Structure 1
Amino acid sequence: MEKDIKKILLIMGHSAGVGDMLRASASWRALKNKFPTADLHLLFLTKDPGYVSETLISKHHLLASFHTLDKRLKGLKDWMEFFKGFAKLVRELNPDLIVDMEPHGLKSSMLCLYARLKYKIPSVGIAEFPGRGLFYTHKAPSSRVVLKSKDYTDRYFVVLKAFGIERQGLPIELEETEEGRQFRETMRSRFSIPEDVPLLGLNIGCGTPDALWKRPNLELLREAVHKVQKATSSFLVLSGANFEADVNERFLEGYHLPALNLAGKTNILELAGLIKACRLFISSDSGPYHMSVALKVPTLGVFVKDFPYSYHNHPWVRNVVLQSHQDIEKFISSALELWKYSSE
């Protein structure tokens, strides 16, 4: 299976969320380590065509190309277009191997079987339930058997067990693009931010209806961030999407330290530059949290409850639960630990 592999087509389809997709990047790195001369191509089966994460992942440094197929299939015509689009991609890429990263569902399994029967391309997948392993040339055991961790990133390593690959602490990855670099290098002059003051980043985020429950209490967050900013003599920059500008303004009501609301002022690629400019980035459990971790910027993740499933555990990351005033002390101490880490 490992001989003469130059092109690997990965199939994903779980969630189009920025964080969900970025968390797969640790497995991409593991594959690159195993097959250093191979190009990785990602096919994402989406129910949200055009989602913002597509722009970010299409520029990811570990991927040679990125493609999507709409998986909202309502009838025979949709199914025919689905397989037609896949066949076209396979002919264009001519991969040596297809890896189905997903443990559940049958669409990705059927694509792997189709590629094996029509184009003689071997595949690797997860035998999650009886019979699913038959769709693949090689199979990994069920995630229910081998997945012991609560870390969401580890789900993408289940299929890699077919190669004998273990995660071994690999972090997720993201590199600043040219768009991000240009934003970072010009943001101080564009927004009249003093050149000699370190930046403290804050993403309140969680502005979509399904994520609102993950948004920290603004009063507690305001008090905690204010104390961190005062202790670090920094300038606060708030990130966010257009529809999150209002919550940033509510946060800034009565806030008497230097701060700037940049919600809606960056696209997803420029956001990486904004994060990279910060000495410390504080974020709720949302896409920018995972971006900051992947960029290896000192990152404080703020959660409304203990949620190890979403945590990253690396020297440049701390995760805190902010539910009451009693939690503010740990918030501050964790932030200052990271502030010190960033200067070392």
Structure 2
Amino acid sequence: MIVQLRICVPSELSAVTLDACKEHTGTAEVALFPGASVSPPGDVIDVQVAREAVEELLEKLHVLKAQEVGSIAISMPELVLSRLADKAEASAPGDGADALIWDEVTRQTGEDSRLTWSYLAFLILATQLAAIGIVTNSTIAIVGAMAVGPEFGPLAALAVALARRQWALGRRAALALGVGFPLAMLLAALTTWVSAALGLFADNTLDTGSAVEFIYHPGPYSLIVAVLAGTAGMLSLISRRSAALIGVFISVTTVPAAGFVAVALVLGEFEKATGSALQLALNLMGIVAAAVLVLVFYHLVSRRLPEAAARRLRWQLTRTRG
């Protein structure tokens, strides 16, 4: 798997950046376009590198402060036919499917964790679907609510924030969860109250809904499933296998538990509301904890830039600017 980097740097940093790219293990091709960048003025360097070697190359570019004085754009070509690319992948340690690119994961989870109108809309709609599934004893509606819920984005961002100590990202994710879930539950409670007043369902509907009993009966497997789902979800983000996220969405009981809390409180079923709240807490904590452990594991086993190489790059950078 080949990754393409487009690096824009001032002309005075072009030589040292070019050398860092050419000497990097896993690099297939390097192209230099002198003066190609107009704003900001500078050179453009195009690099093709094996995915498993991208993180260490990015560390080198960060040492050179390429992202501060210019820019680094990363793209994934669908198909690269090149013998040099094949040799680069063979020479790079590890496998592209297992490679973690921290900047990629941080940017993706950061975008998914923003408190936007679309995020709130999806969470509200999912909670409404869950509430309907609860009062109608419909597992189909419950599964639909699981699939629609957008909560994994902020949970993944919270895990990245804890693993990388990026507290600004953590605060943004916590805000999305802290505002989104209470608002969605409040609106679900409101629609439940209106539906009950209109006689759309019986007052004892929670006593007859055997298909949704699992929601307010948390147990060891609730936490186990959440841990497995959090692990699978973070692995899918790292390996860019978005199809696996669908399985994550429909395996955890976050949105259904939130919907059940709202319905149970309106109907005066406080014991079941408490059980559902516990279910929600177990799922949220299990997902985040598992995702953090996955990121910590990848951090420990990933190939890091040796400190000697970092010092050499800093010396070259100082020499160039001097």
Calculate the TM-score normalised by the size of structure 1.
0.25
Higher helix share: 2
